[in-house]
Structure 1
Amino acid sequence: MIKKGMKLYSILFGTCPKCHQESMYVNRNPYALSETLKINDSCSHCNTRYRMEPSFFYGSMYVSYGVGIAFAVATFILSYVVFESSLLTAFFAIIITLVVLIPVIMRLSRNIWINLFMHYDKELVKK
């Protein structure tokens, strides 16, 4: 069970890493493509600034590589091992999966990146 106060909660749901009270993103839907990476300047509940420095989220590009590889490996295992498809079919399944999940991968990467530097503070929730 994933509850507020766990890093995984903030990573999966894109909430403020300090208080977990609101979404970091202008639009919660990652498939609103024009707003996929639009992030609020700060949390309206605890005033945490999400951009600690101008190019802060560039580091999430490295995380997105790992997240993409994880999705690709999971897709390969499902298609090739579980469903016993051909290598070509598994290859196309990986490509389709990655293209469809690009917005999710980008957001997950940002969420993981910011949660590496900020931690949940239960005192902020009481305010």
Structure 2
Amino acid sequence: MDQPTTAIPSTALALLALRCPHCHTGKLFNHPALSFSFMEMPADCPVCHRTYEPEPGFYYGAMYISSGFSTGILLAIGFLLYFFANDPPVWVYVTTVAVAVLAVTPLLFRYSRAVMLYGFGGTRFDPRFLTH
């Protein structure tokens, strides 16, 4: 697995690029989001060797973050259908939300874990990685 050689200076951009919160260089996931192994994470960063799981069961909290993302999707689709599709039957709401959430499940999984790691992992960016 090839790694980028320079750190991403912005924490927000590093989170969006799914990079290590310590060095902003190492990838958080081993495979692309559109593969059957989209959940596979290395145990630690391949660049700075910071652990990606600070404690056992750390990512259980990511389920709450993923639930929040899913709720946001539900609300957005609900408002869009209500105002632009003239309040269709309930089955249209349910089907549209279910299909949308299933379609973005790999992204929900990855970004909820990344937000959990960045927000609660106890690791902050080390600017020394910008010079390497």
- Alignment match, 2:126: 121
TM-score by length of 1: 0.83
Shift of 1:85: 4.7
- Residues 87/12 of structure 1: CA separation in 2 closer, same or farther (3 Å cut): farther
- Alignment match, 1:63: 65
SS at 1:58 equivalent: helix
- Alignment match, 1:48: 50
Number of equivalences: 123
Any gaps of 5 or more consecutive residues in structure 2? Answer: 1-6
- Alignment match, 1:15: 19
- Alignment match, 1:101: 104
Any gaps of 5 or more consecutive residues in structure 1? Answer: none
Query: 1:54-110 deviations in whole A, cap 9, x for unaligned?
Result: 211111111111111112212222222234351422332111101111111111100
TM-score by length of 2: 0.81
Asked if 1:26 is matched to 2:30, the reply is yes
Larger radius of gyration: 2
Task: Give the aligned residue type for 2:33.
Answer: P
RMSD of equivalent CA atoms: 2.0
Q: Partners in 1 of 2:85 and 2:12 — Cα distance?
A: 30
- Bigger helix fraction: 1
Q: Partners in 2 of 1:86 and 1:7 — Cα distance?
A: 41
- Alignment match, 1:112: 115
Query: 1:31-68 deviations in whole A, cap 9, x for unaligned?
Result: 212x1211012222222111112211111111111111
**In 2, are the aligned partners of 1:19 and 1:121 still within 8 Å (CA)?**
yes
Query: What percentage of residue pairs aligned between the two structures are identical?
Result: 20
Task: Give the aligned residue type for 1:22.
Answer: G
Task: Give the aligned residue type for 2:19.
Answer: T
